[in-house]
A and B are shown apart, each in its own frame.
Chain A
Amino acid sequence: DTAVSQTPKYLVTQMGNDKSIKCEQNLGHDTMYWYKQDSKKFLKIMFSYNNKELIINETVPNRFSPKSPDKAHLNLHINSLELGDSAVYFCASSVRGTAFFGSGTRLTVV
């Protein structure tokens, strides 16, 4: 049983397309996150939701829109994809300061 699972694992798409990445956690945590890892392996937070409510939005372009239908799911929708969006996107959840990460979605925009 995977604690934090995200799909798809790989995503290759053309510039201008719209795509979504899904994340689910079965840990019962209230807080979920999206992080982006760039080509230099630097991880940076994008969004955080607590019990379906947005609590962190780190100056991410509004082409990125997170959606949390319930506290176990946090999806990331990206409109009008650009080359610079190519990265690995990690979903995470946390409780009492301990974070658990998914295995990542490698997005390649061509």
Chain B
Amino acid sequence: KQEVTQIPAALSVPEGENLVLNCSFTDSAIYNLQWFRQDPGKGLTSLLLIQSSQREQTSGRLNASLDKSSGRSTLYIAASQPGDSATYLCAVGWSGNTGKLIFGQGTTLQVKP
């Protein structure tokens, strides 16, 4: 069964800290992996997309890595800011044809000023 797990469920850090969010998945034969951000009461914003042939992607202070063999991805946030406070969702696509995504439960991040 294809499943995605995110740990921890919640994280609180002081402003300025570097932090890592974890995502693990069963079945290493993935097509791609996408990290999303969701603010309370809002939709999902795509942060980074990693194709199965890639090992990492970077956008500004965000870096996402992918290790298919161990079934893991990490989202690294450098120099965290209060504006980074949100829920971060990891989603895995196992089928390129359908584009279906299976989501983890998310990590809710609070960055304290």
Binding site for B on A (CB under 8 A): 31, 33, 40-45, 48, 50, 55-56, 90, 92, 94, 97-104, 106
Given the known A-B contacts A55-B98, A99-B34, A101-B43, are A42 and B103 also in contact in the complex, defined by CB atoms under 8 Å?
yes
Name the A residues within 8 Å of B105 (CB-CB).
40-42
- A sample of 17 more A-B contacts (CB under 8 A), given A94-B99, A103-B42, A106-B41, is A33-B100, A42-B103, A45-B100, A45-B102, A55-B97, A90-B43, A90-B44, A97-B32, A97-B51, A97-B93, A97-B96, A98-B34, A98-B46, A98-B49, A101-B36, A101-B45, A102-B43
The 12 listed contacts between A and B (C-beta, < 8 Å) are A31-B98, A33-B99, A42-B103, A43-B91, A44-B103, A97-B96, A98-B34, A99-B101, A101-B44, A101-B45, A103-B42, A106-B41
Binding site for A on B (CB under 8 A): 31-32, 34, 36, 38, 41-46, 49, 51, 87, 89, 91, 93, 96-103, 105-106
